[in-house]
Chain A
Amino acid sequence: MDQRRIARRRELAADIVGAAHLRGDFVLSSGLRSTYYFDKYLFETRPSILSRVSEMLADLVPTGVDRIAGPELGAVALATGLSLRTGLPFVIVRKADKDYGTRRLVEGELLEGDRVLLLEDVVSTGAQAIRAANQVIRAGAQVVAVLAVVDREQGGAQNIAAEGYAYRALFSRTELGL
């Protein structure tokens, strides 16, 4: 990686943390208390960050991908950005516990046998990414890889790999200094 790319990457990491890293007294849904919270929406909704994230994610898209899948809610903005950057169409993967009138778990056009790149904003244990990937497969497509913007290093990489999916993250928690 050349120096200019390294510098851009470092700058993007700093901007993501600057936007999304909140300090305070937070109760996590795991029941643990934390002095910080990473609010992914605060970086995803900033166009200057979203465009750069999309640019860097585009470099990680494997060859032969037909479509991008973005699980709701957080990855939808990222899927949109990456779709605009690459020209690849995308679908939105609904959360399975929602009851929608159309009863579709994947919104948008998804063709039988499509080779799909699943995009996640933040991966912790990987459970949500795996669930979304399974929904895409149930809809008749293949998941060729999973990409994330941030990996919290909580076992997600191992769990996703254990399900047989190739996986990469743009940034790790350690790299972001969280």
Chain B
Amino acid sequence: MTAELSHSEIKDLVARGLESSRSGYTALADPQGAERLAVELAHRCEGHRPSCLLVWQRPHDLVLAHGMARVLGTPVVRAYDSEGLVGIEGAFSGNGGRVLLVGDAFSSAEVVRALYATAEQEGHVVVAAAALREPDESARAQLREHGIPLVVLLTALGRTGAPNG
């Protein structure tokens, strides 16, 4: 499978998902576009050979992860805030799995830390993080701290990320 969307196509599709929301990308504004973006991001993550996708609780991140999981053939685990504790919904595949973190933009260092700690607690390795848009600096710093490569479709400067990080 190869990457197919051009830079301008990615930019347009992300813009469609942003224009109707004040809180970030929304897949529901353009389901077909969201599917295309998910497929593109999945293609760019194949080299990391994930066995499972891990996503934070936000519904639109879950839609993105679902689209990617269909391409990659992996299960999706959803992590969520349960009164200050991280809960998970879904099952990681076995022990020692290769986990791909997925999100629209990883809005905070806490989210990255929570996802990483969850994967680690379950005995898995985080192999990469995949995002539609560039995460904020605190989230990027967390990813760097843990040595997690980042695959991002659209950077803050409007450039598209290179395939496979």
State the CA gap A26–B117 with chains docked (Å).
9
| A29 pairs with B84, CB closer than 8 A | yes
Contact across chains for A30 and B121 when beta carbons are under 8 A apart: no
- What separation, in Å, do the CA atoms of A124 and B110 have in the docked complex? 16
| Interface residue total, chain A, C-beta cutoff 8 A | 15
Report chain B residues within 8 Å CB of A25: 121
Mark contacts of B102-113 with chain A using CB atoms, 8 A cut-off: 1 yes-contact digit, 0 otherwise: 000000011111
A29/B86 in contact, CB under 8 A: yes
Give bound CA distance, A27 to B84, whole Å. Answer: 9
A162 adjacent to chain B (CB < 8 Å): no
Residues of chain B with a CB closer than 8 A to A124's CB: 84
Q: Assess whether A28 is in contact with B86, with CB atoms less than 8 Å apart.
A: yes
**Interface status of A32 (Cβ within 8 A of chain B):** yes
Is A33 engaged at the interface, CB distance under 8 Å to the other chain?
A: yes
Residues of chain B within 8 A of A64, CB atoms compared = none
* Interface assignment of A171: CB less than 8 Å from any CB of chain B: no
One digit per residue, 1 when the CB lies within 8 angstroms of any chain B CB and 0 when it does not, for chain A 12-55 equals: 00000000000001111111110001011100000000000000
**Which of chain A's residues have a CB closer than 8 A to the CB of B83?**
39-41, 74
Minimum CB–CB distance for B139 against chain A, Å = 11
* B114 & A29 in contact (Cβ 8 Å cutoff): yes
Given A37-B85, A74-B83, A29 contacting B110 (CB threshold 8 A): yes
Bound-state Cα–Cα, A153 to B117, Å: 24
Contact of B114 among A31, A37, A40, A74 (CB under 8 A): A31
A32 to B117, CA, bound (A): 7
Interface residue? B164 (CB, 8 A): no
* CB-defined contacts of B115 to chain A, threshold 8 Å: 31
Contact present for B85 and A32 (CB under 8 Å) = no
Question: Which of A26, A28, A37: most chain B Cβ within 10 A?
Answer: A28
Q: How far is the CA of A28 from the CA of B116 in the complex (A)?
A: 11
* A-contacting residues, B107-165, CB 8 Å: 109-118, 121, 142
Tell me the bound Cα distance from A41 to B83 in angstroms.
Answer: 10
Residue of A nearest to B88 (CB): A27
- What is the CA–CA distance of A112 and B109 in the complex, to the nearest angstrom? 41
Which residues of A have CB within 8 Å of B85? Answer: 26-29, 37
Q: Are B117 and A31 neighbours in the complex by a CB distance under 8 Å?
A: yes
**Cβ proximity bits A62-79 to B, threshold 8 Å, 1 near / 0 not:** 000000000000100000
B145 to chain A, nearest CB (A): 11
For residue B3, give the distance in angstroms from its CB to the closest CB of chain A: 31
**A59 to B110, alpha carbons, bound, how many Å?**
38
Chain A residue at minimum C-beta to C-beta distance from B23? A97
State whether A28 touches B121 (Cβ < 8 A).
no
Q: Whose C-beta in chain A lies nearest to the C-beta of B108?
A: A31
* Distance in angstroms between the alpha carbons of A48 and B103 in the assembled complex: 45
Which residues 103-143 of A sit at the B interface, judged by CB distance below 8 A?
124
Q: Considering the complex of A and B, which 3 residue pairs feature the smallest CB-CB distances, nearest first?
A: A31-B113, A29-B81, A31-B114
A26-B85, A28-B84, A29-B85 given; 10 more Cβ-contact pairs under 8 Å: A25-B121, A27-B118, A27-B121, A30-B110, A30-B113, A31-B115, A31-B117, A31-B142, A40-B83, A41-B83
